[in-house]
């Protein structure tokens, strides 16, 4: 009689329901005996002098748990960062939304991206706002492009200029 046991796959994250994904990831790490390592972030206690082979093996296994947990965590971080970047790219203004509200919404997403290590520049945010505002702002955007150095324009300056037209 042969039996094979394989570890369950790391739960995938499709960008939706992050809170559910976090619970699944915690459960996965617990099933692999890795959650305590993530939770405490402590190294195993140092070996005593003249350890036995069993103690050496156990110590190495405990050290490997931290590496395994970090590998799983790194995958989660990369997926989260990609999801946040996609959220930024797909963000659009609603028809009845005020410029200041849209700007705040964009900056909230940008802050989340930056917290996760993404380097979205202020210039990229300015460009995003300029290309995503409604058609009624087209003349104002053209005037801004002609009268200002857009590469030096801040998000708050652009927001102020667009709010003046609202």
pLDDT in tens, 46-73: 888 888 999 989 888 888 887 777 777 6
If we measure between CA atoms, which residue out of 135, 143, 146, 149 comes closest to residue 161? 143
- Which stretches of 16-154 are DSSP H helices? 18-31, 35-40, 53-90, 99-115, 122-132, 138-147
Same domain (yes/no): 72, 19: yes
Domain match, 74 and 99 both: no
pLDDT above 80 (res 43): no
Q: Is the pLDDT of residue 28 over 90?
A: no
pLDDT at residue 6, as a whole number: 63
Helix (H, G, I), strand (E, B) or coil at 156: helix
pLDDT for residue 3: 46
> Which pLDDT value is given to residue 105?
93
pTM here?
0.56
Does residue 119 sit in the same domain as residue 62? no
The verdict on 98 and 163 lying in the same domain is yes
Burial state string for 66-92 with b = 16 or more CB within 10 A and e = fewer than 16: bebbeebeeebeebbbebbeeebeebe
Per-residue pLDDT tens over the stretch 126-158? 999 999 998 889 999 999 999 989 999 999 999
Looking at 90, 117, 149, which one is the last position of a domain?
Answer: 90
Show the domain range for 136.
Answer: 93-166
Q: Are 109 and 87 in contact (CB under 8 A)?
A: yes
* C-beta of residue 79 within 8 angstroms of C-beta of residue 10: no
Which tokens sit at 37? 């390592």
- Mean pLDDT over the full length of the chain: 81
């Amino acid at each position: 009689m042969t039996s094979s046991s394989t570890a369950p796959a790391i739960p995938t994250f499709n960008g939706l329901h992050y809170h559910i994904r976090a619970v699944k990831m915690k459960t996965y790490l617990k099933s692999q005996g890795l959650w305590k390592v993530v939770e405490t972030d402590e190294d195993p206690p140092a070996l005593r002098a003249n350890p036995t082979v069993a103690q050496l093996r156990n110590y190495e296994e405990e050290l490997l748990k931290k590496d395994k947990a970090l590998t799983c965590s790194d995958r989660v971080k990369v997926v989260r960062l990609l999801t946040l970047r996609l959220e930024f790219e797909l963000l659009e203004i609603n028809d009845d939304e005020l410029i200041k509200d849209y700007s705040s919404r964009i900056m909230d997403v940008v802050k989340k991206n930056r917290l996760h290590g993404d380097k979205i520049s202020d210039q990229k945010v300015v460009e995003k706002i300029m290309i995503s505002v409604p058609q009624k702002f087209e003349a104002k955007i053209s005037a801004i492009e002609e009268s200002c150095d857009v590469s030096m324009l801040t998000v708050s300056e652009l927001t102020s200029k667009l709010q003046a037209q609202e």
